[in-house]
A and B are shown apart, each in its own frame.
Chain A
Amino acid sequence: MTTHIETPPRPQVPKRHEELDEVVIRFAGDSGDGMQLAGMQFSNETAVAGTDLATLPDFPAEIRAPAGTLFGVSGFQVNFSSHDIFTPGDNPDVLVMMNPAALKVNLRDLKPGGIIIADTAEFTENNLKKAGFATNPLEDGSLTKYQLFPVDITQMTLRAVEGLNLNTKVASRCKNFYALGLTSWLFTRPIDPTIRWIEGRFKKTPELVDANIRALKAGYHFGETAEMFAVQYEVKPARLAPGKYRNITGNSATALGFIAAAERAGVPLFLGSYPITPASDILHEVASYKNFNVYTFQAEDEIAAVGSALGAAYGGAIGICTTSGPGMLLKQEMINLAVMVELPLIIADIQRAGPSTGMPTKTEQADLLMAIYGRASESPVVVLAPATPGECFFMAFEAVRLAAKYMVPVIYMSDGYLANGAEPWKIPKVSELPQIDVQFRTSPEGFQPYLRDPETLARAWVKPGTPGLEHRIGGLAKEDVTGHVSYDPINNEKMVRLRAEKVARVAMDIPRTDVHGDPSGKLLVIGWGSTYGALVEATERVRAQGKSVSHVHLRYLNPLPPDLKEIIHRFETVLVAELNTGQLLKIIRAEYLVDAKGMNKIQGYPFKVGELMQKIQELLEE
């Protein structure tokens, strides 16, 4: 995938330009060093430069973990390329390290011959000790197999902002921009987008605008002028499909997808939420769009959050609730009620590593069975999962569309990796988005609360305030058609089966399943959600070796695509790869009576392409 960065020759002027196909950079430092920001800004610069990219932010749950410690290290990996890429990369080519702890944690991943840029000012005796280094690795010769660039980033940053009357603490906080400036120069990224960002972000404190821009430019110019760097690298723009692009994270795309859907439905949006990592950013973003007839409500707890959304849905709004696993399980009773009263409700579960509080900032896909089955009694809902950050927009939109069409709760399953990861996104035209056809019943003629549409089995959506349609709904078992409370045993079974049939009919809306690779053959790899990029890349690479492996990626988890059965039976072996201990695997085995194998990882990190390839090759050799 990656062109290895060769050891540069001795410094010479003028600097040599070298073109690379693909580069993986990892920024890391203390959780207060602003590494997420540096990484995000680098991604924006690189997006604007037209290269394809994928990111992997990786940070601790502590906001400001003790400085210099191993567990306080916060990292941001970005992979950018002149061709299509699908993952943030297995191993970095470049480490930008703000302290010894960052180096200690990240060095094992660096490719042989890779570049290390390190802030020498932070390699103090005390910090080295905290990171577990007996001697200073920048000086003891232990890093000779890499290209080491020791730079006193802290000192140079302080010098850059001299005369701005900032105290040392504030001044040294600009060092992330110095590091960003230097890295931007090294990889020929434009710094204008970052300058614009700084101007916007620090609008109210002009001295910080000045300081951060100075630090950024100082880093950039240092690269240019210092003899240390002989080569400037360049990654040419990728040949992406024509169109207008922006860089987008999964959470941002999710927020926009919900807003777009409510707009296309012509119905107000109500987002009830309780802050939880990694979902909170969706609430933040939606809250900034109040002028779209958007209600956002920060509830007292997870239960009230989804309760308020259901109350709003009852009133005729698009009711949405955003959360993560530990919140999701508290919402199940309300989802159970929404199933019973057959109201549209969208629950976005931005999964994180668990169980319990688990690892809040790390990713996982282990809420699938909870989403499909985790409620009292028979409680079918629709379950969807986007595959990439950009796709979050379309699947969030789809979740709203299906909920309103079938009058059913829809669980939308993103995860920490999609939520914070970014990629270039081809911006859709509003006119090309489907219209969402919401019909509120107003005619009392022949009205019955549980009368169903013959095709979708949806009951009518009636807004309170509609004269002549006064009726009662609730969690008690309901008589078919009339909705009266009923304890009739035959009626109960009929209603349970009707609700299941309604969800099953969503299959009519599922597009044909794409098989990447040959339509039949030896091995079929099935994945869902955020593992898409790694699975595409791994299967493509093994296929390029002339082997028979294809890939199917599921966006619809309940109901499953109607053509999946037939696809599965065209392959000798099926591998289900997912970031849990085998949840989709269980479903595939049960649904299709196939002896599928599992590829599972529960480490809080996405799959690496290498480990997937190894598993695929093993299965092909069996």
Chain B
Amino acid sequence: MSQAATPTLKLTRKDFMSDQEVRWCPGCGDYAILAQMQKVLPELGIPRDQLVFVSGIGCASRFPYYMNTYGFHTIHGRAPAIATGLKISRPELHVWVVTGDGDGLSIGGNHLIHALRRNVDIKILLFNNRIYGLTKGQYSPTSELGKVTKSTPFGSLDYPINPIEIALGAEATFVARSVDVETKHLQETLKRAHEHKGSAFIEILQNCNVFNDRAWEPITDRATKADHQLVLEQGKPLVFGKNREKGIRLGKDMNPEIVTLGDGVDTSQLLVHDETNPSMAYILSRLGPQFPTPIGVFRAVKRMTYDEGANAQIESAKKRLGPGDLEAILNRGDTWVVK
């Protein structure tokens, strides 16, 4: 039923743009994310009809309307559940979920956790702007403590959630972070998610210029980002800084610490990133405010996917019990004949 992906398929960014006018606010970070997705997809060689974008509610969740693929704009927080049913029964499809910090971590937190731990082969993009945009500016589960918003004029009392830690805690097999304005990095991360077999979770730091402008400064600011971004690369030491002069090593009590290279400190003492090491992912997810913010792939490991398992069970049941015989199951157990 499905067409195999062929590298000869010549699609362009334009092929993935739908006929709908994009209705995000001018300057919204979502435009950049949409653009990177539309740039990356032609490189993957997948026919448009094999792609499905499923979303919940919120600004981010308008995403499917702008993609010229199959799309399902569903209800608040529930996209992972709907995507799960779709992917289990149609494992050949490429299913992407688009959600936000409110949709995915507040009302839909439960579905997100369970989709990740089941390792359903869906790709979940969580646009994190630390605010409710569509409802016009209330604090979200990722807003900082004390945040003053329309619904918290005296400051928010909610301690913020860390999306990466949630994903790791849910035993997600692929966990990454990228940034709306880091176009190349975002493209690479989207490709990695696509290549991963199993659920992939990407937190995308995204700017809401209307209700929470500059929420991710100084990570995104050209002048400061070198000191505030820690770009994760598999097998490479954790180095950052304008002149790549700083690094992170494991200090006393197993706590990470920032060191300046030189003066007897060299890269051999630094932590080396390993996407398959759960402790590494955990340390990186919990770096405190004095540390740079890691972007890249925290964790990428292999585990059987739920959809694979579900379909394998059907095949093995057919082998063991033979193909379903309706007449036989209707007549199962003790029967008798009335003449």
Contacts and interface: CB of A to CB of B under 8 A. Distances in A.
Contacts of A289: 324, 329
Contact of A292 (B65, B71, B324): B324
Contacts of A268: 89
A311 B64 contact: no
Contact of B338 (A245, A260, A299, A429): A245
Given A291-B321, A315-B86, A474-B74, A300 B110 contact: yes
Given A464-B93, A472-B64, 20 more contacts: A240-B338, A244-B338, A245-B336, A246-B332, A247-B334, A268-B89, A270-B89, A290-B314, A297-B85, A297-B88, A299-B84, A304-B111, A307-B84, A308-B84, A312-B88, A314-B86, A315-B90, A317-B89, A334-B75, A429-B327
Contact of A475 (B50, B74, B85, B334): B74
Nearest to A317: B89
In order of increasing CB-CB distance, the 9 nearest A-B pairs are A474-B73, A311-B85, A308-B85, A307-B81, A292-B324, A304-B81, A290-B317, A472-B71, A311-B82
Contacts of B324: 259, 263, 289, 291-294
B329 to A, nearest CB: 7
B50 A474 contact: no
A319 to B, nearest CB: 7
A299 B115 CA distance: 10
A484 B330 CA distance: 45
B330 A470 contact: no
Contacts of A303: 78, 81, 111
Contact of B323 (A291, A463, A469): A291
Nearest to B53: A472
A333 interface: yes
Interface stretch (A20-28, A43-51, A504-512, A569-577): A43-51
Nearest to B48: A470
Contacts of B331: 244, 246, 427
B321 to A, nearest CB: 4
Contact of A473 (B50, B72, B310): B72
A619 interface: no
Contact of A474 (B64, B332, B338): B64
Given A315-B86, A475-B75, A48 B336 contact: yes
Interface string B302-339: 00000000100110011011111011011111111111
Contacts of B335: 244-246, 427
B337 to A, nearest CB: 5
A330 to B, nearest CB: 11
B41 interface: no
Interface of B: 1-3, 18, 20, 47-50, 52, 54, 57, 64-65, 67-75, 78, 80-90, 92-93, 110-111, 113-114, 310, 313-314, 317-318, 320-324, 326-327, 329-339
A470 B69 contact: yes
A463 B90 CA distance: 10
A312 B68 CA distance: 21
B295 to A, nearest CB: 30
Nearest to A333: B75
B338 A242 contact: yes
Contact of A311 (B1, B57, B86): B86
B238 to A, nearest CB: 35
Contacts of A311: 54, 72, 81-87, 89
Given A290-B317, A333-B75, A470-B48, A196 B334 contact: yes
A272 interface: yes
Nearest to A468: B49
A447 to B, nearest CB: 12
A268 B93 CA distance: 16
Given A300-B114, A467-B3, A243 B338 contact: yes
A485 interface: yes
A256 B310 CA distance: 21
A90 B327 CA distance: 36
B71 A315 contact: no
A316 interface: yes
Given A308-B81, A314-B72, A50 B49 contact: no
Nearest to B82: A311
A470 B68 contact: yes
Contact of B2 (A312, A465, A485): A465
Contacts of B50: 464-465
Contact of A469 (B49, B86, B114): B49
A47 B71 contact: no
B170 to A, nearest CB: 11
A557 to B, nearest CB: 26
Interface in A474-492: 474-476, 484-485
A337 B93 contact: no
Nearest to A318: B89
A248 B52 CA distance: 42
Nearest to A343: B72
Given A260-B330, A297-B85, A464 B338 contact: no
Contacts of B67: 472
B322 A291 contact: yes
Given A295-B310, A465-B50, A474 B82 contact: no
Interface centre among B3, B113, B321, B330 (most CB of A within 10 A): B330
A14 to B, nearest CB: 29
Nearest to A466: B49
Interface centre among A48, A243, A294, A310 (most CB of B within 10 A): A310
B52 A464 contact: yes
A484 B93 CA distance: 24
Given A244-B331, A300-B114, A472-B65, A263 B326 contact: yes
Nearest to B16: A470
Contacts of B85: 270, 272, 297, 307-315, 319
